[in-house]
Amino acid sequence: MTTPEQLARLQARAIENPMEEPAFFQALLTAVLYVHLPLSDDSGKVRLICFTRPDGITVIPVFSDDVKAHAAARGAARVVAVVGRELFESAPGATWMLDPNDVSCTLYPEEIVALLRSGCVPIVQRHDAGDPTVVRAARPEDAWIGEAAVRAALSFKAISEVYLLEVAREEPQRTSGLLVVLAVSQLYSEQAVRAVGVALVACPQVPRLPVDVTVYDSGEPPEWLVASHIGPLWHRGYDGASSQASSNDR
């Protein structure tokens, strides 16, 4: 079991250094976590209280200690303690928000599945690299990255297209990395990126170049992508069906 003191130390390290996140997330499985239940409920079922964030995503709040849980409940909900693994297994497909009134952290369904299965959640860091100056189709030896991204998209209906590109952002024009591009509605953009991250980490291969993932709102591709004349690896049809696409479709 992970003690409250150990969990607090791991959380502080993860906040300071994202590279410490895997150890913290793994510790959640053996830590006692706290959730809210209705004050009265005669349904005969355990119903966890959830809320919808301003961005439209519905989440279940979960707390790393009882003080935070009671402060958030304000007497309007019961606070129940559950071991992390049992809690996450009890609500498959749920999105969890850890310590929403403090240093909040969202865990999406794909990440929970990976955590329960392997004890690991991929590290995802935001950064603004700017538009690439050179864009070309990825090499055949990088195809497995695109295949992993497509596998993630197949079970994520908000993703409508997947691209895999080799890009450079500096002069002289040299390869700086690989870029997975997803067409996805803005509401689900963060979850889509994390779903692809989970799919990539599950692969046994090691990328030969750094891999970034970027998104654009479905139907509004960026100018640099249109100008590349490179088509998607995969796209979802209007009827929900999917198909592979040639790299020269555009």
Closest to 123 in 3D by CA, of 141, 105, 102:
105
β-bridge mates for residue 204, sequence order: none
Measured between alpha carbons, how far is 31 from 79 in angstroms, rounded to an integer? 16
How sure is the predictor about 172, in pLDDT bands with cuts at 50, 70 and 90? low
Residue 170, SS3? coil
**CATH number, span 4-118:** 3.40.1350
Summarised one tens digit per residue, pLDDT across range 130-147 is 788 889 999 999 999 999
Eight-class DSSP state of 139: P
According to DSSP, the β-strands at 32-38 and 159-168 are: unpaired
Measured between alpha carbons, how far is 182 from 162 in angstroms, rounded to an integer? 5
Q: pLDDT at residue 250 above 70?
A: no
Pick the CATH number of 134-244 from 1.20.120, 3.30.70, 3.40.50, 1.10.287: 3.30.70
- Between 250 and 168, the more confident residue is 168
Measured between alpha carbons, how far is 124 from 95 in angstroms, rounded to an integer? 17
How sure is the predictor about 125, in pLDDT bands with cuts at 50, 70 and 90? confident
How sure is the predictor about 245, in pLDDT bands with cuts at 50, 70 and 90? low
Token pair of 82 as six digits: 């559950």
CA 172 to each of CA 201, 203, 205, 230: distance values in angstroms, whole numbers, following the listed order: 31, 32, 29, 22
How sure is the predictor about 46, in pLDDT bands with cuts at 50, 70 and 90? confident
pTM over 0.85: yes
Summarised one tens digit per residue, pLDDT across range 92-121 is 999 999 999 988 899 999 999 999 999 989
Q: Kindly report, as residue ranges, where domains of CATH 3.40.1350 are found in the chain.
A: 4-118
Q: Kindly report, as residue ranges, where domains of CATH 3.30.70 are found in the chain.
A: 134-244
Token pair of 142 as six digits: 């990088």
